[in-house]
Structure 1
Amino acid sequence: MKRRDIVLASAGAALAGIPGLGQAQQDFPKPGSTIKYVVPFAPGGLTDIMARTVAQKLTEAWKVSVIVENKAGGNAQIGAEQVAKSTPDGSSILAITLTHAANVALFPNAPYSLTKDLRPVALLAGSPMLVVVPVNSPIKDFKDLIAVSKTRQLNAGSSGNGTPPHLTMALFNDLNKTQMTHIPYRGGAPSMTDLIGGQLDVIFSNFPESIAHVKGGKLRAIALCSLSRHPAVPDVPTAFEAGMPGLFVENWTAAMIQAKTPDAIVEKYSREMIKIMYSADVEERAKQQGFRVTQKGSDEFGRFLKNEIERWNRIIKTAKITAT
């Protein structure tokens, strides 16, 4: 039996043992109903693409209309607030990322609570951060970066304050006891342009934002912030291999729902989403987009999310990171 079949069979057996759960799950969703899959980012990004893939599969499986609704803005808070304040009947679900875990520390006065107003459904996939330098940089590998950053001030770009590239740079500084100069941009594309042009020394980048430039010979990838190498760049070592085992950062994507949503509905979403992510076509599509399927059900994802919030809270406070 394949690993995915074992996971799904075990999940099904566990759920079957909960009194009344089976009937409650059968009542949701009602035929002909509409479900909003809220993506708190602009269309076209990886989170949006993954949500649309899952939404289509849910539509096919449940014979209802699952519509992706993009609610960008407020550092991903606008869409999150919408679902946090929605009716707890399963009709709205939220796509979240590492950004939301960091937002807990970055926005202490947010109009909703990630941990109180929303509850975990499932972790779907992760995309490792890729450390890149200009192709003509004297920094040839990750050990060079570690050494050079201790001898002179390096400029590290990011797609904005508090974004995953910024947080990864801050984690590097924390582990290496150095202080790179952070240069925030409005998005990943302009930061890549300046890195290629030599105005920046390094970017701890979102994988999809830099991989094309690496493949095109404009940037050199020197490390992957992951536990294992990536098939798209098999010759690039992990940070663990290159001398910094603590530099593990994946920009993950997951789903949450209004906190008072009944357990039966949450578990139905969780089980179906895990099944979707393990389908061969979705796994392959995720791989092509730079993702690795990293499924976790509601309880396991809840523990993971708690750890991520605590981890980035510490880094944000240590580095004195603010949202602006």
Structure 2
Amino acid sequence: MIDRRTLLGLGGAMALARPGIAQSWPDRPIRWIVPFPPGGSTDLWARLVAEPMAADLGQSIVIDNRGGAGGLIGTEAAARATPDGHTMLFTITTHVTSPVVLRRFPYDPVADFAPIGKLGVTPLVLCASPSTQGNTVQDFAAWARGKDLSYASYAPGSSGHAYGQMFSDEARLNMTHVAYRGEGPMLQDMLAGNVACAFHSMAASGGAIRAGRIRPLALSGTLRLPSLPQVPLMRESGFSERFAFAGFIGLLAPARVPQPILDRAVASFRKVMETPATLQRLNEIDTIPQYLGPDAFRADIARALRDWTALATELNLQVTG
């Protein structure tokens, strides 16, 4: 049986698909929901892409930061938005990690969205705060062992949360997890020395790392960063292959957006991702460009959901709240 809300959504999509309506998109400013507060890496990536896309589409793109519940609040709002192409979601791997770990699926990470394009990936850097000691991950672990310390994450159920828990477990540190509503607030507490360590993105924390305000110890993923050639991978430092889990950064629309609108958004996003200025800026903030179109991006999201579900089950990683 089809419920009333589904019928309304289908009716709205059919109306939007009438000749002359979809083709006129966008006819007003576009809203991109970013499910984290301003100042973090997701916010930075969104703004980096939004400016050239707005110029290409001829309408402004307004960033709507809606943090909370590991990204679930903003993501659910995007899933429920009117499918007219004027509300989209710019998000990261928490799109799949948070609902799995929170045991709450207010949206289907795959079926409820129409992928526009994948921007790329970024390794997370295990950083130590100025209140700690040790310039390598082994020295930090030796100093931290037996102390009452905490590690931070930018969202409960995020890959940063999982990496922090894996590091604490594998290094036998028994640290307490402190979750934040975004990377910006987490970074401020790291700089103040209120938490011992955290896995950061270079997009948000690169400036603090280069200034020596926090110390990089090791990297997630499978490739070292050219800007930090001396910093090894976690798996090169004696830790498990679980730290190679790969995520994503990208733009999605609500499901049922008319295809002509999606096609234009996809073309604009691809155009921006092929621009040398965009690629240069991403490399400057240590983000690895890895463009994928809609079908390949959907498959990548489904792959990340499968991989993360297996990892979270192995870790017995569950978040309450």
Task: Give the aligned partner of residue 318 of structure 2.
Answer: 321
Q: Does 1:216 find its partner at 2:211? A: yes
Task: Give the aligned partner of residue 262 of structure 1.
Answer: 258
* 1:1-324 equivalent positions in 2, closer than 5 A: 27-30=22-25, 32-133=27-128, 139-142=134-137, 148=142, 155-159=149-153, 160-172=155-167, 176=170, 180-186=174-180, 187-193=185-191, 195=193, 200=196, 202-244=197-239, 245-249=241-245, 252-317=248-313, 318-324=315-321
Rounded Cα–Cα distance in structure 1 between residues aligned with 2:140 and 2:213 = 18
Deviations 1:19-67 (A, max 9, x none): xxxxx99953436343222222223332223222322222222223433
Whether contact under 8 Å (1:98, 1:252) holds in the other structure is: yes
Task: Give the aligned partner of residue 6 of structure 2.
Answer: none
Cα RMSD (Å): 3.4
Whether contact under 8 Å (2:22, 2:261) holds in the other structure is: no
Q: Structure 2 length normalisation: TM-score?
A: 0.77
Rounded Cα–Cα distance in structure 1 between residues aligned with 2:210 and 2:171 = 31
Whether contact under 8 Å (2:146, 2:173) holds in the other structure is: no
Q: Structure 1 length normalisation: TM-score?
A: 0.76
1:295 partner SS: strand
Runs of 5+ consecutive residues of structure 2 not aligned to the other structure: 1-18
Task: Give the aligned partner of residue 3 of structure 2.
Answer: none
Task: Give the aligned partner of residue 15 of structure 1.
Answer: none
1:257 partner SS: strand
Runs of 5+ consecutive residues of structure 1 not aligned to the other structure: 1-23
Q: Percent identity?
A: 22
Counterparts in 2 of 1:37 and 1:250: CA distance versus 1, 3 Å: same
CA deviation after TM superposition for structure 1 residue 130, in Å: 0.5
CA deviation after TM superposition for structure 1 residue 180, in Å: 3.6
Rounded Cα–Cα distance in structure 1 between residues aligned with 2:238 and 2:114 = 37
Counterparts in 2 of 1:154 and 1:204: CA distance versus 1, 3 Å: farther
State the aligned residue count: 296
